[in-house]
Amino acid sequence: MTFFDFHHHHLQKRFGIYNLSVEESPPNGFFSAGIHPNLSLEVTEEQFVWLEEVSKYKNCVAIGECGLDGLINIDDHIQEELFERQIELANRRKKPLIIHCVRRFSKLIHFQKNAKVPMIIHGFNKRKTIGKDLQKHDFYLSFGKSVLQNVNLQEFVKDFPIEKIFLETDAEDFDLELLYQKVADLKNLKIENLLLQIEENLKTFNIPHLK
């Protein structure tokens, strides 16, 4: 069994989407490319040229991670400009957006109106009310290690539409199979059926599951 890792930072991992760092050379497997909000003050036009070029690669399957972060000491307006440029790029490339969001979920709804591609919030681990609002606005959510420990998050995952779910390790080092098994148990599914559903979800973004 192979467990697709929707968002990860492990270069040697084959089954998943590698989060490419700025100006890093692309890997052979699937990757996403974007400029994180914590780089908003340092970003250069040369880096945007790099992003424009790598986003053309066939195995670049998403733009990101990009988004908004309320914990960093960078003005919201500066972050928003960077985010808007990447939404525009995703629209042109017709590739989904992998979103990093911290304490700015209410603002995402506004930006979603400008996006012509799906938006997936990676590493979602917030309270149920935030999740329900995102569900109402048709966001996809990718869940990580927090599901293994957070009982409130488990309750939310249990009821969240399986057609909108992805699973990831992010930068954590743990056995992704444990997360798949936990989510399968929460949804009263066989793990094989969860794998099939994730594969169907990937097809929505023209991402063929690796065999």
Phi/psi for 156 (5° steps) reads -70, -45
Annotated binding-site residue? 122: yes
Q: How far apart are CA 146 and CA 35, in angstroms?
A: 24
Whole-angstrom Cα distance, residue 47 to residue 26? Answer: 14
| The token pair that represents 139 in the structure block | 């966001």
Distance separating alpha carbons of residues 90 and 108, to the nearest angstrom? 15
Annotated binding-site residue? 100: yes
List the end-to-end C-alpha distance of the chain, in Å, as a whole number: 9
| C-beta atoms surrounding 87 within 10 Å | 22
Determine if residue 81 is labeled as part of a ligand binding site: no
Cα gap 124→57, rounded to integer Å: 27
> In 94-165, which ranges are continuous DSSP H helix?
105-112, 128-136, 151-159
Is 80 one of the annotated binding-site residues? no
Kindly give the pairing relationship between strand 31-33 and strand 16-20: parallel
CA distances from 64 to 38, 97, 185, 188, 198 (A): 13, 6, 30, 32, 20
Query: Is 137 within 8 Å of 150 (Cβ atoms)?
Result: no
Cite the annotated binding site by residue number: 65, 100, 122, 170
Cite the annotated binding site for a divalent metal cation by residue number: 65, 100, 122, 170
